[in-house]
Amino acid sequence: MPTMQVFVRFNSHHSFPVDVDSSWSVLQLKEVLAARQQVPPAEIRIIFAGRELRDSFIIGECDLASHSIVHVVRGRPQLSVEAQVSSSSSQEPQSLTRVDLNPQEDGASASNTSHGAAHRHPHFFVYCKQQCKDVQPGKLRVSCATCKQGTLTLNRGPGSWDDVLLPGRIQGRCQSQGCQGTVAEFYFKCAAHPTQEEDTAAALYMIKSNTQDVPCMVCEEVSTPLILFECEDAHTSCLDCFHTYCTTRLNDRQFVQDATLGYTLPCPAECEDSLIKEVHHFRVLGDEQYERYQRFGTEECVLQMGGVLCPGRGCGAGLLPEGETRRVECVRQGAQGCGLVFCKDCLEPFHQGECRPQMEQLFGAENRIAVDPESALRSRWERESEETVRQTTKPCPNCKAPVEKNGGCMHMTCPRAQCRYEWCWLCETAWNRDCQGDHWFG
Amino acid sequence: MMASLPRRIIKETQRLTHEPVPGISAIPDEQNARYFHVDVMGPSESPFEGGTFKLELFLPEDYPMAPPKVRFMTKIYHPNIDKLGRICLDILKDKWSPALQIRTVLLSIQALLSAPNPDDPLANDVAEQWKVNESHAIETAKAWTRLYAMKS
């Protein structure tokens, strides 16, 4: 008989491992625990994932994965709770592991889909950042919003993503002694491996099992899981293409800085109202690229708020200058800030009087920063890279960001999502009909 | 060679061959499956009617994240196509999306032949003609079509 180990947490205190046989009934488990704790088996209750496990349940049918944490509280099983559970569905009470939060196309309610074909597919996915560093099937767990223990039994199971993601929608009753909690708090874990209690994972609700064998809109391969965009056409893409799409857009800084949603992307077909609302989906970029994504997002946010990014080498701190003065100081605060004092308008070291013409400034021979010995050592290389920038880029006439032209015509669009100024590479002015007709391609 | 091609390109190629778009043919090069020899028939009731225009279409490495590169090989008198055959079409640039395909690009080019847009010109002199003296411009376009796009 297959055995497995579960962790038993007694009265919300210590937890200890117990070897259980999946053919056992819950009552048999209670007997083992009762002997260990020296209490009568009839006076303990076992709670797992939002429901009380009844004596007659078979452990192997309770969706207890190895190393799951079950909660044990003192007290007699409450008939009222049992009655609620048994009346809410068929003989087998619904387990959180089998809840399908995705609306079914045939109109069947979510709670009826725990049997049959849909059961073979994972219903929800998470990004596991602790171990797998990948998208994995997730498991849904619940705790009491008051005492944070997993001792809450649910009045009803969640039926939609909103039930799970929006706080306070599902009620229950906390069975911990002394806790009067009634509100459920859902969270997700990676289902690919045993998890510690604190190993929660972000739910990626746009990622779904490809139960309809829909081909990816980009590569046309049929694969599972896929990502379903929230556009009217319900476009889908495979995760590989979504990854490529995000990386391409990130490299070109073509994400959109939305005031409410943050730094995000629309459906690859650019459908209306299709911006990704849960930015954890960009976790699929992997740790390194996700960090870059966060940095770019912060920078765009600072710029959108009217701030500036410190031009000091390797600094880039976001600053929100106050008042009308052009003088901005990148104040040193602990590990942050480089001390550079610069002009808000031209991003050169601060100066009296008007800013010099742009090209001269950007690549002027003067020192850009107060030289310290270390950066002086690197100056040769820096000058070379500055030369590269000078040869391959021109400043956007609107926002002054150096823009590289890596092919194509003379019609430039500033790659900064907040700028998007259309200009001519040759004239360095706004794109106009003369440019279009006379030297579109140079 | 074909095995290393992304499935999307293989499928698009198959569809272009087996379900061709009326008035358009796109045949992959024998040496390079990312390079297509394209023929577009001049749309009826346009100055390009009766002509067959040769184009080249290349799928860059990052296709479909980046748009295909397309160019007219046959000389054409059109305000949005310059004398080197380069095309002024938004979906070939910033309006590109990976949801678009070779098929949609070629259809858009065919539509551009039906509806020249002299207000967003590439060939300024042609556009000027098109605006100042449209009937004369259309005559020139017809003449160029007979001259360059029809087999004698």
Q: So what's the ipTM on this one?
A: 0.74
Lowest mean pLDDT among A5-14, A386-395, B4-13, B101-110: A386-395
A235 reaches B (C-beta below 8 A): yes
Lowest mean pLDDT among A149-153, B43-47, B57-61, B69-73: A149-153
pLDDT surpassing 80 at residue A227: yes
In 3D space, the residue among B112, B95, B106 whose CA is nearest the CA of residue B23 turns out to be: B106
Residue A43 confidence (pLDDT):
87
Chain center to CA of A190: 14
B88 is an active site residue: yes
Q: What does pLDDT average to over chain B? A: 90
Task: Spell out which residues of chain A touch residue B97, defining contact as CB-CB under 8 Å.
Answer: 268-270
Give the C-alpha distances (Å, rounded to integers) separating A256 from A306, A408, A415, B91. 16, 23, 11, 19
Q: How far apart are the first and last CA of chain A?
A: 77
pTM above 0.90, yes or no: no
Q: Which residues contact A65 (CB under 8 A, 6 or more apart)?
A: A139, A191, A194
Segment 386-425 of chain A within 8 Å of chain B by CB: 408-409, 411, 413
pLDDT surpassing 90 at residue B76: yes
DSSP A369: S
A232 reaches B (C-beta below 8 A): no
Residue of A nearest to B93 (CA): A408
Interface contact B88-A436, CB threshold 8 A: yes
Task: Spell out which residues of chain A touch residue B86, defining contact as CB-CB under 8 Å.
Answer: 409, 440-441
Residue A108 confidence (pLDDT):
39
Task: Spell out which residues of chain B touch residue A218, defining contact as CB-CB under 8 Å.
Answer: 8, 64-65, 98-99
For the stretch A112-143, pLDDT in tens is 334 444 345 777 899 998 889 999 998 888 99
Q: Which residues of B touch A (CB under 8 A)?
A: 6-8, 11, 62, 64-66, 82, 84, 86, 88, 93-95, 97-99, 120-125, 127
In this structure, what token pair is assigned to residue B22?
């009326």
Cβ–Cβ < 8 Å for A408, B69 = no
3-state secondary structure of A294: helix
Residue A293 confidence (pLDDT):
94
Rg, C-alpha atoms of chain B: 16
pLDDT surpassing 50 at residue A93: no
Looking at chain A, the domain(s) classified CATH 3.10.20.90 span: 3-98
Interface contact B124-A244, CB threshold 8 A: no
Give the C-alpha distances (Å, rounded to integers) separating A40 from A18, A30, A34, B129. 18, 9, 6, 99
**Could you give the percent of chain B with pLDDT greater than 90?**
62
In this structure, what token pair is assigned to residue A257?
């800085």
In 3D space, the residue among A401, A431, A424, A133 whose CA is nearest the CA of residue A252 turns out to be: A401
Task: Spell out which residues of chain B touch residue A221, defining contact as CB-CB under 8 Å.
Answer: 7-8
Residue A59 confidence (pLDDT):
86
pLDDT surpassing 80 at residue A237: yes
Residue A104 confidence (pLDDT):
53
For the stretch B117-139, pLDDT in tens is 877 777 778 888 888 888 999 99
CATH code, A3-98: 3.10.20.90
Reported in sequence order, the residue ranges of B13-145 that DSSP labels E, i.e. its strands, are 24-28, 35-41, 52-58, 69-72
Residue A390's pLDDT band (cuts 50, 70, 90): low
Check residues B91 and B151 and name the one with the higher pLDDT: B91
Give the strand pairing for A3-10 and A69-74: parallel
Interface contact A248-B65, CB threshold 8 A: yes
For the stretch A250-283, pLDDT in tens is 988 889 888 899 999 999 988 999 999 999 999 9
